[in-house]
Amino acid sequence: MPVTTRKKMAASSGERASQGRRTGGLRNDLKQFTRERILAAAMTSFQEIGFKETTVERIVELAGTTAPTFYRHFNGKDDLLTPLQAHLSVLVQSCLDRLTARDIVSAQAFTRWVGDYMRMWGEVHRLCKAFWDAASMEEEMLPSTFNRMFYTGNTIDRLFPGATGAEIEERKMRLGLLMLMLDRLAYLASVAPDAGTRDKLIFRFAEMMWRSVFTDVNGAARHAPSRKR
């Protein structure tokens, strides 16, 4: 075979391979886009009507796709529990990250962060309810759910970089338990009869939370280190 012919064949083969890679990349991008659109539609439905009432038919209607397409990505609605849990964790962790970015040197400063949490809660509490309703029916999810309830370990590490061992575990447990109580406070504050009552509830709880988390195991006050802005 002439050298020129071999070169032309090699060039043609290279072009086909390159085109195949581009086609495969576009196909994967479209697949990922469709999956994300389905997940976004599912989160919208969970937020609006809850997990139990959400159906695959409603999800695909909101996503502008079809049931066969849904089942190419997920085995069923229960497959959406893990993405829902991950979505909520990201939102809550983002709020916790704002806690470590503040100069937490007083109960008043901590109260401002509690206000941040309240605003976040107002945006996601329906999704939280949808998740807990679904998780209560899925026993295999309960261990990982329990672990995620105490996802504040890294937050504690950043708030108290010098603390180790038993002190870290104690603070982690205190903050984890109080975060659960903070959710209940958020609901109570949302139905308070007036702004004055709501603000008083928030401040008193923030003060209690401050004393618990920012006090060492022996009861002595230990403030988080001040951070330069």
Q: Which has the closest alpha carbon to 94: 156, 172, 155?
A: 155
Is the same domain home to 101 and 178? yes
Give pLDDT tens digits for 113-122: 888 888 888 8
Instruction: Give yes or no for a contact between 54 and 63, defined as CB atoms under 8 angstroms apart.
Output: no
8 confidence band (pLDDT: 50, 70, 90)? low
Domain boundary among the residues 52, 74, 96 is at: 74
166 confidence band (pLDDT: 50, 70, 90)? confident
Is the same domain home to 113 and 155? yes
Could you tell me where the DSSP H helices lie in 50-106? 56-63, 67-73, 81-101
Range of the domain at 173: 80-213
The reply to whether 224 falls in a domain is no
Q: How many other C-beta atoms lie within 10 A of the C-beta of residue 185?
A: 21
The reply to whether 183 falls in a domain is yes
Q: How many other C-beta atoms lie within 10 A of the C-beta of residue 192?
A: 14
Query: How many angstroms separate the CA atoms of 222 and 214, rounded?
Result: 5
226 confidence band (pLDDT: 50, 70, 90)? very low
Residues composing the chain: 229
User: 47: domain CATH number?
Assistant: 1.10.10.60
- What is the predicted pLDDT for the residue at 9? 55
Report how many domains make up the chain.
2
Is the same domain home to 207 and 103? yes
pTM of the model: 0.66
Distances (CA, A) of 200 to 49, 188, 191, 204, 213: 32, 12, 13, 6, 20
Q: What is the mean pLDDT of residues 191-218?
A: 84
Domain boundary among the residues 59, 74, 89 is at: 74
**Residue type at position 11:** A
Domain boundary among the residues 74, 89, 123 is at: 74
Query: How many angstroms separate the CA atoms of 37 and 74, rounded?
Result: 13
Residue 187, helix vs strand vs coil: helix
Assign residue 80 a region (left: φ > 0; alpha: ψ between -120 and 50; beta: otherwise). alpha
Q: How many other C-beta atoms lie within 10 A of the C-beta of residue 4?
A: 8
Q: Is 114 exposed, middle or buried (0-12, 13-18, 19+ CB in 10 A)?
A: buried
Is the same domain home to 37 and 94? no
The reply to whether 219 falls in a domain is no
Give pLDDT tens digits for 142-162: 666 655 555 555 677 777 777
Is the same domain home to 70 and 86? no
* Greater pLDDT, 101 or 189: 189
Give the mean pLDDT of the chain.
Answer: 79
The reply to whether 47 falls in a domain is yes
Q: How many other C-beta atoms lie within 10 A of the C-beta of residue 220?
A: 7
- What is the predicted pLDDT for the residue at 151? 52
Give pLDDT tens digits for 40-97: 999 999 999 999 899 999 999 999 999 999 999 999 998 998 898 888 888 888 887 8
Is the same domain home to 109 and 126? yes
Is the same domain home to 95 and 149? yes
